[in-house]
Structure 1
Amino acid sequence: MRTMVGVNGCTGVIAANNNDFGRGADWLSKRGAMALAKHLQAYWHRHGYPAARFWPEPIDERFSKIGTYEIYTIACNLINGLPPSYR
């Protein structure tokens, strides 16, 4: 269950009864990777870089190296750690 919270005109989400953004969060699942990508993209957009993009991608080697669990990684368009529009 999630609760919407507004503070000083900002709206955020507080996770209740789950661990989406806290210690022990599962960032390797599809749901967790999507949440992390949105979180990272929002961070860069807040800091004035609207060209920064993040998205989850499945890791292809999952069966031969780690078993049958589907795991994801975060891909981005950052160049040397900075968004493409950085001057």
Structure 2
Amino acid sequence: MASGGFGMVDEHLRGKRILVVDDERELADMVAAILHGAGFACVDVVHAGAEALAAIDSRAASPERAYQLLVLDVMMPGMDGFDLLARVRERPA
């Protein structure tokens, strides 16, 4: 990912839109801050699977706004990261 060491994002990655999904708010915010500090322009955070699906759906109609990377917590209550990923994969591309 990084060409110049930690904190430097290659130019072709700078415009990527990332959604961080984690029920632990402090951890999610820390991951988002690190990604934003590394040069990613759009890093959003949600704290539950249902919130993630709503966020993904809200951007899906507009390819230039759609998320291109999801960072998922595997062990969330309710819908865990594996269930969330399965539901995302069921959606049209």
Same fold (TM over 0.5): no
Which structure dedicates a bigger proportion of its chain to helix?
A: 2
Of structures 1 and 2, the one with the larger relative CO (CA 8 A, separation 6+) is: 2
The structure number with the bigger radius of gyration is 1
TM-score, scaled to structure 1: 0.27
**Normalized per residue, which structure has more strand?**
1
TM-score (ref. length: structure 2): 0.26
